[in-house]
Amino acid sequence: MPNVPKDKIGKSINNFQQRDYAGFLEAYVKNNGAYTTTCKELKIMRSTVDGWRKENPDFEADLQEVNRLISEKVESTLLDSALDPKGAPVSKIFYLKNNWREKYGERREPDNKTINLWFEKPKELPEAKIIEGEVVDE
Protein backbone atom coordinates (compact mmCIF):
# COMPACT_ATOMS: atom_id res chain seq x y z
CA MET A 1 0.00 0.00 0.00
CA PRO A 2 1.49 3.40 -0.92
CA ASN A 3 2.32 5.75 1.92
CA VAL A 4 2.20 9.53 1.74
CA PRO A 5 4.86 11.06 3.98
CA LYS A 6 3.10 12.89 6.82
CA ASP A 7 5.57 15.78 6.61
CA LYS A 8 4.36 16.45 3.03
CA ILE A 9 0.66 16.70 3.90
CA GLY A 10 -0.81 20.20 3.90
CA LYS A 11 2.17 22.50 4.49
CA SER A 12 0.29 25.80 4.25
CA ILE A 13 -3.03 25.09 5.97
CA ASN A 14 -4.45 25.39 9.47
CA ASN A 15 -4.52 22.44 11.90
CA PHE A 16 -8.23 21.68 11.37
CA GLN A 17 -7.84 21.48 7.60
CA GLN A 18 -4.59 19.55 7.94
CA ARG A 19 -6.33 16.91 10.06
CA ASP A 20 -9.15 16.62 7.50
CA TYR A 21 -6.72 16.44 4.59
CA ALA A 22 -4.55 13.85 6.33
CA GLY A 23 -7.61 11.76 7.22
CA PHE A 24 -8.84 11.90 3.65
CA LEU A 25 -5.43 10.92 2.26
CA GLU A 26 -5.14 7.97 4.66
CA ALA A 27 -8.59 6.71 3.67
CA TYR A 28 -7.84 7.38 -0.01
CA VAL A 29 -4.72 5.19 0.23
CA LYS A 30 -6.67 2.48 2.09
CA ASN A 31 -9.34 2.56 -0.66
CA ASN A 32 -6.68 2.28 -3.40
CA GLY A 33 -7.44 5.71 -4.82
CA ALA A 34 -11.22 5.27 -5.04
CA TYR A 35 -12.26 8.93 -4.75
CA THR A 36 -16.05 8.49 -4.40
CA THR A 37 -15.69 5.53 -2.03
CA THR A 38 -13.41 7.58 0.21
CA CYS A 39 -15.83 10.51 0.25
CA LYS A 40 -18.76 8.23 1.16
CA GLU A 41 -16.76 6.44 3.85
CA LEU A 42 -15.78 9.74 5.51
CA LYS A 43 -19.21 11.31 4.89
CA ILE A 44 -17.63 14.19 2.99
CA MET A 45 -19.23 15.57 -0.16
CA ARG A 46 -17.13 15.28 -3.31
CA SER A 47 -17.60 19.01 -3.86
CA THR A 48 -15.89 19.67 -0.51
CA VAL A 49 -12.85 17.62 -1.49
CA ASP A 50 -12.88 19.21 -4.96
CA GLY A 51 -12.70 22.59 -3.18
CA TRP A 52 -9.76 21.40 -1.07
CA ARG A 53 -8.00 20.33 -4.26
CA LYS A 54 -8.50 23.74 -5.87
CA GLU A 55 -7.53 25.81 -2.83
CA ASN A 56 -4.53 23.78 -1.71
CA PRO A 57 -1.90 22.76 -4.28
CA ASP A 58 -0.09 20.62 -1.67
CA PHE A 59 -3.23 18.54 -1.09
CA GLU A 60 -3.72 18.12 -4.86
CA ALA A 61 -0.05 17.13 -5.23
CA ASP A 62 -0.45 14.55 -2.44
CA LEU A 63 -3.48 13.03 -4.22
CA GLN A 64 -1.55 12.87 -7.47
CA GLU A 65 1.38 11.21 -5.68
CA VAL A 66 -0.96 8.56 -4.23
CA ASN A 67 -2.36 7.95 -7.74
CA ARG A 68 1.17 7.61 -9.14
CA LEU A 69 2.13 5.12 -6.42
CA ILE A 70 -1.01 3.06 -7.04
CA SER A 71 -0.27 3.04 -10.78
CA GLU A 72 3.26 1.82 -10.09
CA LYS A 73 1.89 -0.94 -7.86
CA VAL A 74 -0.53 -2.05 -10.62
CA GLU A 75 2.29 -1.91 -13.16
CA SER A 76 4.49 -4.05 -10.92
CA THR A 77 1.70 -6.59 -10.39
CA LEU A 78 1.06 -6.73 -14.14
CA LEU A 79 4.75 -7.27 -14.83
CA ASP A 80 4.94 -10.02 -12.19
CA SER A 81 1.98 -11.77 -13.81
CA ALA A 82 3.41 -11.33 -17.32
CA LEU A 83 6.75 -12.85 -16.29
CA ASP A 84 5.22 -15.74 -14.36
CA PRO A 85 5.02 -18.84 -16.61
CA LYS A 86 1.63 -19.58 -15.02
CA GLY A 87 0.53 -15.93 -15.12
CA ALA A 88 -2.56 -14.72 -16.93
CA PRO A 89 -2.06 -14.73 -20.72
CA VAL A 90 -3.85 -11.38 -20.98
CA SER A 91 -1.10 -9.76 -18.89
CA LYS A 92 1.53 -11.08 -21.29
CA ILE A 93 -0.43 -9.81 -24.31
CA PHE A 94 -1.02 -6.41 -22.71
CA TYR A 95 2.64 -6.04 -21.82
CA LEU A 96 3.89 -7.01 -25.27
CA LYS A 97 1.36 -4.85 -27.14
CA ASN A 98 2.43 -1.81 -25.13
CA ASN A 99 6.16 -2.44 -24.84
CA TRP A 100 7.06 -4.10 -28.13
CA ARG A 101 4.76 -2.19 -30.45
CA GLU A 102 6.68 -2.76 -33.66
CA LYS A 103 6.13 -6.50 -33.32
CA TYR A 104 2.93 -6.87 -31.27
CA GLY A 105 1.21 -3.49 -31.59
CA GLU A 106 -2.03 -2.89 -33.47
CA ARG A 107 -1.45 -2.97 -37.19
CA ARG A 108 -3.24 -0.78 -39.64
CA GLU A 109 -3.18 -1.73 -43.26
CA PRO A 110 -3.02 1.24 -45.60
CA ASP A 111 -6.20 1.86 -47.55
CA ASN A 112 -5.13 1.44 -51.18
CA LYS A 113 -8.50 2.18 -52.74
CA THR A 114 -9.11 4.91 -55.23
CA ILE A 115 -12.53 6.46 -55.43
CA ASN A 116 -13.56 7.88 -58.81
CA LEU A 117 -16.49 10.29 -58.81
CA TRP A 118 -18.25 11.89 -61.75
CA PHE A 119 -20.04 15.18 -61.29
CA GLU A 120 -22.90 16.79 -63.07
CA LYS A 121 -22.04 20.30 -64.20
CA PRO A 122 -23.86 22.71 -61.87
CA LYS A 123 -26.39 24.96 -63.49
CA GLU A 124 -26.91 27.75 -60.97
CA LEU A 125 -26.07 25.87 -57.79
CA PRO A 126 -22.70 26.41 -56.07
CA GLU A 127 -22.27 22.67 -55.35
CA ALA A 128 -22.05 19.79 -57.80
CA LYS A 129 -24.23 16.72 -57.42
CA ILE A 130 -22.66 13.24 -57.57
CA ILE A 131 -24.41 11.30 -60.31
CA GLU A 132 -22.27 8.16 -60.39
CA GLY A 133 -19.31 6.65 -58.50
CA GLU A 134 -17.24 3.54 -58.09
CA VAL A 135 -14.49 2.18 -55.82
CA VAL A 136 -11.46 0.80 -57.62
CA ASP A 137 -8.92 -1.48 -55.91
CA GLU A 138 -5.34 -0.75 -56.94
DSSP one-letter string for 68-90: HHHHHHHHHHHHHHHHSTTS-HH
At 101 the pLDDT is 87
pTM of the entire predicted model: 0.59
pLDDT in tens, the chain (138 residues): 455 555 544 444 455 566 788 899 999 999 999 999 999 999 999 999 999 999 999 999 999 999 999 999 999 999 999 999 999 999 999 999 998 988 888 877 766 777 777 766 656 655 656 666 666 665
At 138 the pLDDT is 54
Locate the domains of the chain by residue range.
Answer: 6-81
At 9 the pLDDT is 47
Q: Are residues 94 and 78 in contact, defined by beta-carbon separation less than 8 angstroms? A: yes
Q: How many Å is the maximal CA-CA distance in the chain? A: 79
Exposure of 10 by Cβ count < 10 A (0-12 exposed, 13-18 middle, 19+ buried)? buried
Q: Are residues 67 and 74 in contact, defined by beta-carbon separation less than 8 angstroms? A: no
